Amino acid sequence: MRVAKKIDEVRSFVRAARMRGAQVGFVPTMGALHQGHLALIRACVAQNDVSVVSIFVNPTQFGPREDFNSYPRPFEQDVALCEKEGVDLVFAPSAGEMYSPDHATYVEVEGLTAGLCGQFRPGHFRGVTTVVSKLFNIVEPDTAYFGEKDYQQLIVIKRMVADLNFPVRIVPIPTVREADGLAVSSRNLYLSARERRAAPALYRALCEGAKAAAQGASGFEVEKITRQALEKEPLFKLQYVQAVHPETLQPREDQGVPMVIAAAAYLGSTRLIDNIKVEGRS
Ligand code: PAF
């Protein structure tokens, strides 16, 4: 397995693979790899001839009061995991390699980024779409893998790929959960023992909302049921819970399924997000 720090190195590696007729798969990450990332990486390795993983904590997607500086960076461990999974190339650029001091171009998907997490993290999705565009232009993958845990990010990336004609197929991978239902996330590392015990309440609340949706409840009702379920765990401070259409991300309000119920909530200073999709009535 190669570890490349420079864009040119990635370009020549991928070009050589293409000359051999290889299909190139790509998993963009910010490192601190966990089971959720490993599910993306395993799908990528299984479905492609050559697999590239990027590890880059992207400064442009963090707000001024967010955790960019404290974000976990266990680089050696991440590289060892990639090697074990059969990844061919890890791209781990510096911030300077990705963004020149005079960088002035950003990619922004309108509309889809306005609600849900976008309301509370101004500029976040602009940072994500900008860095993912740059990574797609550097790696030029045939296929790229994104987790459904970051549901809004997945939909925004799909829109960007369609709108900007990136020749990349986006493959969504289901959320990986701990045995108690908590969605795996790099930020779970921040939780104290008490917070960790409280954390599965977020998914439990979403499941209660999903049950009501499947029985015919409207978006408004589903949001209320989910909110009330989460209030049973006093450690949680809810930021939002919203029932939206799975593709347009428009609020479902007085409409029913299909819907994605998405929520963000704080446990202490740790912000957790999760979602559940309800396709139809049961
Ligand atoms: O989901 C993430 O880890 C990041 O948002 C991504 C897609 C790697 C872009 O920095």
With the most atoms of ligand 1 within 8 angstroms of its CB, the residue from 29, 57, 125 to mutate is 29
DSSP 190: G
Beta carbon of 53 within 6 Å of any ligand 1 atom: no
69's CB contacts (< 8 A; 6+ apart) are: none
Q: Whose CA is nearest to atom 8 of ligand 1?
A: 29
Task: Give which of 126, 93, 98 is closest to 112, Cα–Cα.
Answer: 126
For CATH 3.40.50.620, list the domain ranges present in the chain: 2-173
pLDDT of res. 282: 87
Predicted model pTM: 0.98
Beta carbon of 30 within 6 Å of any ligand 1 atom: yes
Residue entry with tokens 């002035």:
104
Known catalytic residues are 37
Spell out the per-residue pLDDT of the chain, length 282, in tens: 999 999 999 999 999 999 999 999 999 999 999 999 999 999 999 999 999 999 999 999 999 999 999 999 999 999 999 999 999 999 999 999 999 999 999 999 999 999 999 999 999 999 999 999 999 999 999 999 999 999 999 999 999 999 999 999 999 999 999 999 999 999 999 999 999 999 999 999 999 999 999 999 999 999 999 999 999 999 999 999 999 999 999 999 999 999 999 999 999 999 999 999 999 998
Quote the ligand 1 centre to 220 CA distance (angstroms). 30
Q: Whose CA is nearest to atom 3 of ligand 1?
A: 29
CATH topology of domain 2-173: Rossmann fold (3.40.50)
Residue entry with tokens 């059969």:
86
Beta carbon of 132 within 6 Å of any ligand 1 atom: yes
Indicate which atom in ligand 1 lies nearest the CA of residue 54: 8
As beta bridge partners, residue 19 has none
Pairing of β 259-267 and β 270-278: antiparallel
Q: Whose CA is nearest to atom 1 of ligand 1?
A: 29
Quote the ligand 1 centre to 125 CA distance (angstroms). 10
Quote the ligand 1 centre to 64 CA distance (angstroms). 18
Quote the ligand 1 centre to 192 CA distance (angstroms). 24
Q: For the chain, count helices (H), then strands (E).
A: 10, 9
Residue type at 172 in one-letter notation: P
* CATH assignment of 186-275, among 3.40.50.300, 3.10.290.10, 3.30.1300.10, 3.10.450.50: 3.30.1300.10
Mean pLDDT of all residues belonging to the chain = 98
Distance CA 191, CA 198 (A): 10
Quote the ligand 1 centre to 194 CA distance (angstroms). 28
Query: Each residue of 71-126: pLDDT tens digit?
Result: 999 999 999 999 999 999 999 999 999 999 999 999 999 999 999 999 999 999 99
As beta bridge partners, residue 277 has 260
Q: Within 13 Å of residue 277, how many CA atoms lie on the same side as its CB?
A: 12
Beta carbon of 58 within 6 Å of any ligand 1 atom: yes
Beta carbon of 28 within 6 Å of any ligand 1 atom: yes
For CATH 3.30.1300.10, list the domain ranges present in the chain: 186-275
As beta bridge partners, residue 89 has 2, 52
Residue type at 198 in one-letter notation: A
222's CB contacts (< 8 A; 6+ apart) are: 209, 210, 212, 213, 243, 252, 259, 261
